[in-house]
A and B are shown apart, each in its own frame.
Chain A
Amino acid sequence: MAQQNGMVEKRGAGLWLTHLGLIIGVAFIFFPIWLAFVASTVEQQQIARPPMPLLPGDKLFENYARALSAGVNAPVAQMLGNSLVMALGIALGKIAISLLSAFAIVYFRFPGRKLFFWLIFLTLMLPVEVRIVPTYEVIANFGMLNSYQGLILPLIASATATFLFRQFFMTVPDELAEAARVDGAGPMRFFFDILLPMSRTNIAALFVILFIYGWNQYLWPLLITTDPDMNTIVMGIKQMFPSGDDTADWPVIMATSILAMIPPVLVVVGMQKLFIRGLVESEK
Chain B
Amino acid sequence: MATVTLKNLRKSFGKTEVIHGVDIDIQDGEFIVIVGPSGCGKSTLLRMVAGLETVTSGEVGIDGRVVNDVEPMERDIAMVFQNYALYPHMSVFDNMAYGLKIGKTPKSEIETRVAQAAKMLQLEPYLARKPRELSGGQRQRVAMGRAIVRKPAVFLFDEPLSNLDAKLRVQMRLEIKALQRELGVTSLYVTHDQVEAMTLADRMIVMNGGVADQIGAPLDVYADPQTAFVAGFIGSPPTNFIEPALIGQTGAAQIGIRPEHMQITQSGQVEGSVAYAEALGAETLVHLRLAQGQMITVRQDASHPIPQEGDTVALEWAAQSLMRFDQAGKRLAD
Contacts and interface: CB of A to CB of B under 8 A. Distances in A.
Contacts of B79: 178-179, 182
Contact of A197 (B50, B73, B89): B89
B89 A182 contact: no
Contacts, number: 64
Contacts of A141: none
A184 B99 CA distance: 6
A180 B89 CA distance: 14
B83 A175 contact: yes
Interface stretch (A13-21, A88-96, A261-269, A276-284): A276-284
A194 B87 contact: yes
B319 interface: no
Interface in B123-169: 132, 146
Given A189-B102, A197-B89, A284-B88, A179 B81 contact: yes
Nearest to A198: B89
A193 interface: yes
A173 interface: yes
B248 interface: no
Contacts of B72: 178, 181-182, 184
Nearest to B99: A183
B223 interface: no
A184 B89 CA distance: 18
Given A178-B52, A178-B81, A183 B88 contact: no
Contacts of A193: 87, 98
A164 interface: no
B102 A183 contact: yes
Interface residues of A, number: 21
A21 to B, nearest CB: 38
B73 A182 contact: yes
Given A182-B77, A197-B89, A282 B132 contact: yes
B106 interface: no
A181 B83 contact: no
Interface string A78-96: 0000000000000000000
A283 B73 contact: no
A185 B78 contact: no
Contacts of B132: 281-283
A124 interface: no
Nearest to A184: B73
A182 B102 CA distance: 11
B293 interface: no
Contacts of B240: none
Contact of B85 (A175, A198, A281): A175
A281 B88 CA distance: 11
A138 interface: no
Nearest to A185: B102
A184 to B, nearest CB: 3
Contact of B52 (A173, A181, A184, A189): A181
B71 interface: yes
A173 B163 CA distance: 15
Contacts of A284: 88
Interface string B80-124: 011101111100000000110011000000000000000000000
Contacts of B146: 179, 183
Interface in A174-221: 175-176, 178-185, 189, 193-194, 197-198, 200
B75 to A, nearest CB: 9
Nearest to B78: A182
A189 B51 CA distance: 18
B102 A198 contact: no
Interface string A133-175: 0000000000000000000000000000000000000000101
Interface string A55-84: 000000000000000000000000000000
Given A179-B79, A281-B132, A173 B85 contact: yes
Contact of A176 (B51, B52, B87, B102): B87
Contacts of B87: 176, 179-180, 193-194
A184 B88 contact: no
Contacts of A179: 79, 81, 85-87, 146
Given A182-B72, A184-B103, A283 B82 contact: no
Given A182-B51, A182-B73, A193-B98, 18 more contacts: A173-B85, A175-B82, A178-B52, A180-B98, A181-B72, A182-B52, A182-B77, A182-B99, A183-B98, A183-B99, A184-B71, A184-B72, A184-B99, A184-B102, A184-B103, A185-B98, A197-B89, A198-B88
Nearest 3 Cβ contacts at the A-B interface = A184-B73, A183-B99, A175-B85
11 contacts: A176-B87, A178-B72, A181-B71, A181-B72, A181-B73, A182-B52, A182-B78, A184-B73, A184-B99, A185-B102, A284-B88
